[in-house]
Amino acid sequence: MNLLRAMLDSRTSPPVLISACLLGVRCRYDGNHSLCKALVGSLSRIRPIAVCPEQMGGLPTPREPANIIGGHGPDVMVGKAKCINRAGQDVTEQFVKGAHETLRLARLTGAKVFIGKERSPSCGLKTPYCEAPGGLGTGVTASLLEKEGISVIEIGPQSPFPTPESTEILESIHQHP
Ligand code: SF4
């Protein structure tokens, strides 16, 4: 039995934060989900904690989609960029609150890994929904979690799971909980 399987089979595995939409929760801006079947297929062997930073920040579902204007996630967290939705409303406060609430949950549960939905201005590592130089930037929540030492794995509905990269990260938190 390899280490990953041993870790996944253990009831003492460290908890892992996961974007709720990847688990099939209909929390996306359009009221839909982004179910990742490969990830859900591993749920019996990991301890998932579902989070939706935009809902946790107080935004409703469905809601207007938002872009990061003037930078990307790290810029939002220091007040140098804003989150503006399609209706032109400033939702920066809700995005920042959602990031902090997600971090608070990580601290409460001891989670050291976040599996985030790709292409999201909240949860993504390489979101196009921002004005980062080069066109791709980090989402607001993903950037705060990374800054605070939480490993972020980015996946989408069609992604395989686990991958060699995610296996390495998950093995490392099992070895150093
Ligand atoms: S990507 Fe993140 S913020 Fe957007 S719906 Fe999914 S969990 Fe919520």
Contact 66 CB / ligand 1 (< 6 Å): no
Using alpha carbons, select from 148, 154, 162 the residue that is nearest to residue 125.
154
| b/e map 2-35, b = 16+ CB within 10 Å | eebeebbeeeebbbbbbbbbbbbbebbbeeebbe
C-alpha 164 to ligand 1 mean position (Å): 24
Predicted model pTM: 0.92
Q: Where are the domains of the chain?
A: 3-65+98-126+137-175
Average pLDDT over residues 57-61: 98
Residue 1 has pLDDT above 50, yes or no: no
Q: Which atom of ligand 1 is found nearest the CA of 20? A: 7
C-alpha 10 to ligand 1 mean position (Å): 28
pLDDT tens profile 82-129 = 999 999 999 999 999 999 999 999 999 999 999 999 999 999 999 999
CATH assignment, 3-65+98-126+137-175: 3.40.50
Instruction: With cut-offs at 50, 70 and 90, classify the pLDDT of residue 2.
Output: low
pLDDT at 10: 47
Residue 52 has pLDDT above 90, yes or no: yes
